[in-house]
Structure 1
Amino acid sequence: MPGLISEIPPATPQESLQHFSRRLAFETDCSDVHQSQKLGNIDYVLVDVRSYEAFSISHVPGSINIPTRSITEERMSEFPGDTLFVVYCAGPHCNGVHRAAVRLAGLGFHVKEMIGGLTGWLDEGLPLQGINPSAQTDGISCAC
């Protein structure tokens, strides 16, 4: 009798290769963002899509704040069309990052999600910036 894991047969190696390769085209992680910052190899714009209030309290160093609802053709016109955006929100419990990615892609921009968001960044033990970088944003909506 198959176990819980093998009850549904795994994908073929070729299917797995395609699947995980595609995921890497859409995602990056906190560690890779941090490492690229340390090395000065920043070929993307890191965007915090939470509210201005949440961003001002604490955010990932090097990020800019463009709340999801502010991602419009007019707002994004300052960026060249070939800009790669890496977007993040509060964490894996929030789909605001996906709404932001949809808006950016709809405007013709390249976009990746920093999986884990702010929660993932903190889980990695990485520092934040802001008016109170050690504060949690409990009670403050990400409003994304």
Structure 2
Amino acid sequence: MTNPVTEIPPAAAEAVVARYAERLAFETDCADVAVALRGGSPGFVLVDVRGPGPYAAGHVPGALNIPRGKLTPRRLEDWPADTLFVVYCAGPHCNGADRAALHLASLGRPVKVMIGGMTGWADEGLASERSGPSSA
């Protein structure tokens, strides 16, 4: 007996491993970012790519506010070329993080997207902080 789930057989285990290993090379999630930040030395720079207003209204604690248009080679000189950047924006309805990731990668910078953005952060029950606009 088949149904919409079983009518197409699952992929081979090797294909599943390859697909999800590749996917995780491109993205991370809010819970994993929170765990890494709690550890004190996360191994990445967390960047909120939204504008200063939304950032000031609430952002992930420790995130720098660098809107996508300000991610210039000169702005990035403060970090070694192999620094991993994790970028996020408002949430799944926003492609700002994807655009920032594309831009950073085009500059030769390692990057991952924090899927879910601020919406995902709130959905996980994680605290945000409010502050004046800040840029690194």
Alignment TM-score, normalising by the size of structure 2: 0.91
Aligned to 1:49: 49
Instruction: Count matched residues.
Output: 132
Give % identity: 52
Aligned to 1:105: 105
Structure 1 residues 63-142: aligned runs within 5 Å = 63-131=63-131
CA RMSD across the alignment: 1.4
Secondary structure, aligned partner of 2:87 = strand
Aligned to 2:5: 5
CA–CA distance in 2 between the matches of 1:4 and 1:69?
A: 44
CA–CA distance in 1 between the matches of 2:10 and 2:72?
A: 41
What per-residue deviation string (whole Å, max 9, x for no partner) do you get for residues 42-70 of structure 1?
Answer: 11000000011110111000100111111
Deviation larger for 24-33 or 58-67: 24-33
Secondary structure, aligned partner of 1:14 = helix
What 5-or-longer segments of structure 2 have no aligned partner? none
Structure 1 residues 19-34: aligned runs within 5 Å = 19-34=19-34
What per-residue deviation string (whole Å, max 9, x for no partner) do you get for residues 92-117 of structure 1?
Answer: 11111110000101111100111111
What per-residue deviation string (whole Å, max 9, x for no partner) do you get for residues 24-59 of structure 1?
Answer: 111111111111111213110000000111101110
Moved over 6 A (4+): none
CA–CA distance in 2 between the matches of 1:93 and 1:7?
A: 31
Secondary structure, aligned partner of 1:28 = strand
Secondary structure, aligned partner of 2:9 = coil
Aligned to 2:60: 60
Aligned to 2:18: 18
Deviation larger for 55-64 or 65-74: 65-74
CA–CA distance in 2 between the matches of 1:131 and 1:23?
A: 33
Alignment TM-score, normalising by the size of structure 1: 0.86
The letter for the 2-side match of 1:109 is: R
